[in-house]
Amino acid sequence: MASWTESDACPIYTDAILGGFMHLSGFLKRAVLCGGVALTMSPLAHAEFPAGSYSGTYLGADHGTINITVDSYGAVTCRMASDTGKGTVTGTGGVFSVDPPLFDCRNIDSNNYISVDGSYEAGGINGQYLFRGLGGTTYSGHYSATPSGAGGTSPLSWKSLSGLWYDPAYDSTGFNILGGDNGLIFTYYGRNAQGGPLWTISMDALGGTIVPNTEYTIALGMITAGTFANPVNQMARWGQVSVKFSDCTRATATLSGNDGVQVLNLQRLSGVKDASGC
């Protein structure tokens, strides 16, 4: 059992300033903890914030994976791993409000600074983060996480899905999937209905959380003008691809567009070294 009172909690939750950044939820914490009401935590008190492990992805100034664990006493641990080489940071904290269910997790070590706040609702956690990456730069944004290990529903990171994908039944064709700053970019290399080369690229990035066995549809476009010596950025919509990832190495995809419909059972041929999120 852990307990906080106004006198010892307020100083802890009012120093969320790093390099000129004020953590957005500081006001909310002070409103809950410093409003003249003592808060007592116990295993029974966390019925509205289920204990367990949660995993997901974070977006914003950086992107990567996030893992959060809440025990039956309301103690919290958190870990963020950058997909872009900015490092891995860890912290500890606790549930500080039952209604609404809120928590925070942090580490004030200058070499491992992390501050994560979140709320539980609809079976998952959503919130904001701030961390200091390699080189001393701070990054902030938002994240979402869902219960881990529940039937393979843990989100997949963009970096873990990046690579070359193909269907062995359609040799010499396939996708290059790239995790960029704002999501996944799909490029398809194949043949059109007449046997000529077909090269399409997603017209927008597939961002947000990628959940296994969930279908996502992305519009595909193709260049319609220009030559080798004089390229022209003139793109028209070819069609779309609907993709469903089983895990980081298997997926199904349906191409539908100007040249017909093709259903593909994809395997990842080659991925990104040291990718996390699976």
**CA-based radius of gyration for the chain:** 23
| Backbone phi, psi, residue 119, to 5° | -130, 150
Report yes or no: 98 and 46 within 8 Å, Cβ to Cβ.
yes
Query: In this predicted structure, what is the pLDDT of residue 84?
Result: 84
Per-residue pLDDT band for 221 (boundaries 50, 70, 90) equals very high
Q: Evaluate if residue 262 carries a pLDDT over 90.
A: yes
Q: Evaluate if residue 83 carries a pLDDT over 90.
A: no
Query: In this predicted structure, what is the pLDDT of residue 99?
Result: 81
Query: In this predicted structure, what is the pLDDT of residue 181?
Result: 83
Report yes or no: 89 and 18 within 8 Å, Cβ to Cβ.
no
CA distances from 128 to 59, 61, 231 (A): 10, 12, 42
Report yes or no: 203 and 186 within 8 Å, Cβ to Cβ.
no
Per residue in 50-70, pLDDT (tens digit) is 888 888 889 888 888 898 988
Report yes or no: 69 and 121 within 8 Å, Cβ to Cβ.
no
Q: Evaluate if residue 148 carries a pLDDT over 50.
A: yes
Q: Evaluate if residue 14 carries a pLDDT over 60.
A: no
Overall residue count recorded for the chain in this entry: 278
Residue 147, preceding peptide bond in cis (omega within 30° of 0): no
